[in-house]
Amino acid sequence: MNRKIERQALPLLLAVLLVSAGIMPIASAIENEGAEIDFDQYSPPQLSIDSSIETIAIFEALSPQSEQRIMDGKTEGGIPFGSIVVHAADGITRVFDKDGNQLLSISDEKSGKMPTPAGVEKSCTRLHQLPNDSRVYHRGDQTFVLDAAGELILTVIDETTASGQNVAALEGRLGNDWVESAEDMPDSEITEYTAYWRVPSSPPSLESYQKIYLFNGIENTTGSKTYLLQPVLGYSGSTHQWEGQAWACHTNGDDSYYGPLFDTATGHTMRGRIYWANDLKLWSITIYDHTTGQYSSLSTDCIQPEVGYRVACVLEAWNIEDNTDVPGDTLFYDMEYKSYGTPMNIDLEPCYSSNFPREIMQYCWVEIIQNPSQVRLHTYN
């Protein structure tokens, strides 16, 4: 066995054993393992465009999977591992296999749009669900996604010049916003934010077009590359199920990446952790269900730590109309904020939306029980 591979394999094997024992996610176990990556080895092959392929619309995310099946515009088996996704300036997204042979031609405009927990609705061509512990590396107009074993599973090439061209606004609804939150913008670089909370009671009545998100998050709010890193607990009116998922979401038009979805339930204890591994130059985003041991995790270098990032614990909603659409109170507790291992001075302040009916907002109350470690987000329910 090659010595370099041997050194990497042993820590990974230990991580797998720890995960099997229910001790920790792989993302935490290997966050200090790794070396400089030569991205030249991942340079895409010559791409062969097949003009005979019909351009279709899709209604699910372009997510790498072990096999691919296309039925009625649905990528039911995802796209194959090793796929190369090219967003062209003509509004067509083309998918190639690892050898450069074209598989799909997809219209960005005609494809379905999906809401994201970063408050922006995106074309399915711009969304990618990844296996747990995947690592997302951004290099200019190319993005390389490696799995936990270091294998290249997805390449995304963005040839577009108009930022936000794939963002669409929901029409005929009340829109979306952070209903209530506790926030701060610290004057030093935050590199770790951990929070615990229990899954609250479900909204009494939620329609299929309505969504609820609860999370702790770190967001860079300036520049063209604005991202929100968030371990998300979500509730959808289409499934009536609490679900956990880790997100690294571009808040404008670029691609967003997220981990696998897992089911959870009222009363379960969640932990959301966002951590900058300085040796790897990667953010690790993990949501972990302490009750069941399930988790969702990914790592990314989409942004670097800087002064002035926003930190917040948040109740976000899409298209809610009355108090039957909101969950019960949520207590965020044992929240910790660090800058390269050193505890930070954080002064949380309550924030409220002005975009929802007064019927809802009059019962919302951000109770800062112990600043900045414990906050309760109150609702009518």
pLDDT digits (tens, 9 = 90+) for 328-339: 999 999 999 999
Determine contact, residues 104/94, Cβ cutoff 8 Å: yes
Q: How far apart are CA 340 and CA 365, in angstroms?
A: 32
How high is the pLDDT of residue 11? 39
The model's pLDDT over 122-169, given as tens digits with 9 standing for 90+, comes to 999 999 999 999 999 999 999 999 999 999 999 999 998 654 454 443
Q: What ranges in the chain are assigned the alpha helix state H? A: 3-20, 26-29, 358-361
User: Could you tell me which residues come within 8 angstroms of residue 295 by beta carbon, excluding any fewer than 6 positions away?
Assistant: 25, 132, 244, 262, 286, 287, 288, 289
pTM for the model stands at 0.88
pLDDT single digits (tens) 55-96: 999 999 999 988 665 555 455 558 999 999 999 999 999 999
Is-contact 355 170, C-beta < 8 A?
no
CA angle, 347 then 350 then 353, to 5°: 145
Identify the burial level of 48 via C-beta atoms within 10 angstroms of its C-beta, where 0-12 means exposed, 13-18 middle and 19 or more buried: exposed
Low-confidence ranges of the chain (pLDDT < 50): 1-35, 73, 163-164, 166-173
- Residue 5 is predicted with a pLDDT of 30
